[in-house]
Structure 1
């Protein structure tokens, strides 16, 4: 099957076995049924073709081993169950996971840009050609979440590539730090797959939806029967209410984001309250409705 791709892409190469190291020139794909590997020059594949090939075949991602000794120790600690690179328990660490969507990304330039926002001392570990982790120590210069969001927007405009970030929380440096890293990595993957309208994630942003997906079917159905019917009748109602809750019940900000008059927003809110009997400005009511919004969103997908 992969033989046919040789005629489509000049310079494509079939391998007798899986290559043991990454190539800067080729994307490597694996056909499980034929037990074949093919390398296709990166410059020959458009983004659309790359996504199609990843759907048809397994894209082989090679780990990128860091060059500096400290980065190698971090890599071994996080990915191969190695020893912690420090024993100072007074240090607080956070992981910032990132992913840049696109082909032929210049990792050197991306690293330089990231260090411009943090410091030259920040540890950057690449998992593959598109994703990696920043390891940051807590200090007076640590960027707040708002500035990190601005950073992600700036990088997108500089590199013309969609970016995704998960901002981890600061944690004391202990052996359990690797478990924290794996949990955050799971949340980041979940966010990219399920919260497709967003590209900037934190624990509090991801976990409600993560929890919703884990609910037993019986509980999901109960919430659906109580509230989701309103959203089925009027999908605009769902989007309005969810946006209102996500903006901390701020009517002016919500109306601005929805491009509607504030009176129109209030009419929709009043209509929702009338149909459900739930007051959104009550904490328990807001929590229940937000849970229903997440379930409706997940069910719709």
Structure 2
């Protein structure tokens, strides 16, 4: 039984939905699981402050906001409501860019600056006070990953707002469009806790996290136990290996990033390969080690929380 199902049992008047109504926004407290697009609303009249704080330890507390434009409302109805009407003309090429703010009290500060980041024909939709998405048509003015990263840095510098973007793929409308967009949003929700050091991420960058989320704890233990022994012996080794793989197994650039002498780096890489029997210079070996690094960092983060 999921956490949402348990809460529905505890609070029979709770509401599980992807798009609350205006009335529901006012009279319910809203929470969401990281891996789900659905939200649960608990009646404010039936929940104590202590209960609300306790639930907030297990679920993300969110502050829903009303869609501000007609275009935003049409997109929300298409993605999370009952509408099957595509809010764009046929043959349009577009992409879905999700975003998350670090704090809900930054919502009012960023609404106007965010419109300056994207072109005039882009539709910006806030799902709540920290999360939203942008529908961007493909054009010569479409932002590159580097341009979006620069915009995120400017927002943090100018108005002290941290924001993370997930760039989806450009696509045309088809029968599976809604499912594909919701899948991209689900991937972003599942991975953002482990990619928070990046301001802009793409589907190929979160793919390893998606893979890990589909492995059982038994499978992970079987696959990674020997690698984890090496990480336990050398607490910094997972960061070293991850950086090495992310830099295309280039020892010189990795040593420079880690402020290590190249010989020291090579010694640690060789010891890792000797202990685990993994060839870090092969595609399969480097990917195997990389997944282990991510899982190790996830486990460490969970222990801290």
TM-score (norm 2): 0.76
Q: Which deviates more from structure 2 when the two are superposed, residues 72-81 or residues 129-138?
A: 72-81
Q: Which residue of 2 aligns with 1:14?
A: none
Q: CA deviation at 1:148?
A: 1.6
Q: CA deviation at 1:103?
A: 4.1
Q: CA deviation at 1:240?
A: 0.5
Residue 135 of structure 2 aligns to a residue whose secondary structure is strand
Conserved 8 A contact 1:124-1:132: yes
- Paired positions, count: 269
Conserved 8 A contact 1:94-1:168: yes
Q: Which residue of 1 aligns with 2:23?
A: 20
Mapped to 1, the partners of 2:213 and 2:155 lie a distance apart of 31
Relative to structure 1, the CA distance from residue 102 to residue 227 in structure 2 (aligned partners, 3 Å threshold; closer, same or farther) is closer
Relative to structure 1, the CA distance from residue 224 to residue 56 in structure 2 (aligned partners, 3 Å threshold; closer, same or farther) is closer
Q: Which residue of 1 aligns with 2:158?
A: 158
Residues 191-206 of structure 1 aligned to structure 2 (within 5 Å)? 191-206=191-206
Conserved 8 A contact 2:110-2:161: no
Q: Which residue of 2 aligns with 1:180?
A: 180
Mapped to 1, the partners of 2:54 and 2:155 lie a distance apart of 26
Mapped to 1, the partners of 2:88 and 2:174 lie a distance apart of 9
Q: Which deviates more from structure 2 when the two are superposed, residues 191-200 or residues 154-163?
A: 191-200
Q: Which residue of 2 aligns with 1:260?
A: 260
Mapped to 1, the partners of 2:94 and 2:254 lie a distance apart of 35
Q: Could you list the per-position Cα deviations for residues 122-144 of structure 1 after superposition, in whole angstroms to 9, with x for gaps in the alignment?
A: 11111112221110011122112
Q: Which residue of 1 aligns with 2:122?
A: 122
Q: Which residue of 2 aligns with 1:101?
A: 102
TM-score (norm 1): 0.77
Mapped to 2, the partners of 1:179 and 1:141 lie a distance apart of 27
Segments of 5+ residues of structure 2 without an aligned counterpart are 1-13, 16-21, 31-40
Conserved 8 A contact 1:244-1:250: yes
Conserved 8 A contact 2:187-2:206: yes
Residue 235 of structure 1 aligns to a residue whose secondary structure is coil
Q: Which deviates more from structure 2 when the two are superposed, residues 75-84 or residues 98-107?
A: 98-107
Mapped to 2, the partners of 1:257 and 1:264 lie a distance apart of 13
Mapped to 1, the partners of 2:213 and 2:292 lie a distance apart of 12
Segments of 5+ residues of structure 1 without an aligned counterpart are 1-16, 39-49
Conserved 8 A contact 2:145-2:200: no
Residue 215 of structure 1 aligns to a residue whose secondary structure is coil
Larger Rg computed on CA atoms:
1
Mapped to 1, the partners of 2:53 and 2:162 lie a distance apart of 15
